[in-house]
Amino acid sequence: MSVIRLENVTKIYEGNVKTIALRDINLSIDEGEFISILGPSGSGKSTLLSILGILDRPSQGKVYIYEVDVTKLSDNEISKIRNEYIGFVFQNFNLIQRLSVLQNVELPLVARGIPKKKREEIAINSLKLVGLDGLINKKPSELSGGQQQRVAIARALAQNPKIILADEPTGNLDSSNAKIVMNIFKKINEEFKTTIAVVTHDREVASYTKRKIYIRDGKIVGEER
């Protein structure tokens, strides 16, 4: 079963200069897949991830999440589907510096109205999965880059997502921490059957995934399993 499917998706940014970021993309991601989207800087891979995560709408074409055509939905309906199904991990961690590690991981659960005790339990379990349950009272500034990214992964996990989308999650990490992060994604995929798509320009990072999608100049130019 496909969890995300794109049909003839094109994304055009209008401005002083019209930019075609994606050109007629057709892509299906099945339940439980672990894929990478590989391409050089400016190839359109981050735009593609935004479309896959319904953070942005296509200019043309259709996007299906669990066979629901989300291009027909309102912004509120799209937000509900995104919050229910999709967790995000970004290159820059996006942690709130004044909050503790535990509070950062709890944050998405506050928006869902989950009681404090239950929130803490979920957050601690998520931090255990990434090996950071001993650092729950630390602030992000007290952690290494690799540890901060693991907190960001725990925050995504706390939402119990069906899908995790990661945009250059190892881009700010050294090779040792990149391996730790990719092994965590691999473990999540294998243990929980979570569908994971990782955007990267790094073939070493992509080697952890079971399917590789190659993108250049806004078009899918190849695929490898």
**CATH number of 82's domain:** 3.40.50.300
User: What is the pLDDT, as a whole number, of residue 15?
Assistant: 82
Q: From 66, 74, 62, 76, select the one nearest 24 (Cα to Cα).
A: 62
Dihedral over alpha carbons 112, 117, 119, 123 (to 10 degrees): 180
Share above pLDDT 70 across residues of the chain, in percent, rounded to a whole number: 100
Distance CA 63, CA 26 (A): 10
Q: Strands 163-167, 86-90: parallel, antiparallel or unpaired by DSSP?
A: parallel
- Which tokens hold the place of 135? 């650092």
CA angle (205 as vertex; 202, 207 as ends), nearest 5: 110
Distance CA 74, CA 98 (A): 34
Q: From 139, 145, 105, select the one nearest 125 (Cα to Cα).
A: 105
Q: From 199, 190, 188, select the one nearest 165 (Cα to Cα).
A: 199
Split at pLDDT 50, 70, 90, the class of 201 is very high
User: What is the pLDDT, as a whole number, of residue 56?
Assistant: 95
- What is the radius of gyration, based on Cα positions, of the chain? 17
Residue 17 in this model has a pLDDT that exceeds 90: no
Within 10 A of 78 (CB to CB), how many other CB atoms are there? Answer: 18
pLDDT in tens, 185-200: 999 999 999 999 999 9
User: What is the pLDDT, as a whole number, of residue 159?
Assistant: 92
Q: Strands 68-69, 86-90: parallel, antiparallel or unpaired by DSSP?
A: unpaired
Asked whether the beta carbons of 159 and 114 are under 8 A apart, the reply is: no
pLDDT in tens, 98-119: 999 999 999 989 888 899 999 9
CA angle (185 as vertex; 88, 67 as ends), nearest 5: 55
The domain in which residue 119 lies consists of 2-224
The structural domain count of the chain equals 1
Within 10 A of 94 (CB to CB), how many other CB atoms are there? Answer: 13
pLDDT in tens, 145-164: 999 999 999 999 999 999 99
Share above pLDDT 90 across residues of the chain, in percent, rounded to a whole number: 92
Whole-number average pLDDT of the chain: 95
CA distances from 55 to 107, 209, 215 (A): 19, 23, 19
- Which tokens hold the place of 119? 């929130």
